[in-house]
Structure formats: structure tokens, C-alpha cells
Amino acid sequence: MTALTVRNLDPDVKRRLRVQAAQQGIAMEEAVRRILTRAANDPQPTASSTDLGARIRARFAGLGEIATPARRPMRAAPFAQVVEGAAQ
């Protein structure tokens, strides 16, 4: 088996790992081994799975389409007309 040393681990993280292991009735080393194995076996997130828009669409996908009222055509912006010679 391979050994792994973790340096500069926050003491509070170590305490929480110890408590979690005790609650599961296993050694802290076994708890960390399970956490690392689970993390290594999880597929890496893709750009679409970390994209906020994609996550929002997925969450509300089952609700169906929302009817929105028709909109009026856009009006022309007042600055749309360029006065010749003004930008020189």
C-alpha cells in the first residue's frame, strides 16, 4: 500500500474528520481513505455541469415552458442617427 502525508492540515478539519469517523465506527484513516476513493472515482465536472445557467435550466426543466405575453417592437434609440461632421 502507498502512504500519503498531508501537511498543513487545518486542526479543525482533522477534528471534524476524527468525529465523523467515530460516528461511523471506523478509524479516521479509514474514513479519509473512503473520502479520497470516492473523490477520485467521481467524474470530473465538465464546463456544462459547472455552468450556472445549465444548472438552473436543469433544475426547472420539468416545469415546462412559461407563456410570456407578446412584446411591442423596439423603438429606435435616440442616438442611432449620426450627424455628419460631428464625430470629426
Q: pLDDT tens, 43-62?
A: 776 655 568 888 888 888 88
**Does residue 88 belong to any structural domain of this protein?**
no
* Residue 30 included in any domain: yes
Range of the domain at 28: 10-42
29 lies in a domain?
yes
- Counted domains in the chain: 1
Please tell me the pTM assigned to this model.
Answer: 0.48
Query: What would the pLDDT profile of 4-23 be if each residue is shown by its tens digit?
Result: 899 999 999 999 999 999 99
Does 25 reside within a domain?
Answer: yes
Determine the pLDDT at residue 40: 87
Query: Residues 50, 41, 1, CA angle at the centre, nearest 5°?
Result: 145
Split at pLDDT 50, 70, 90, the class of 30 is very high
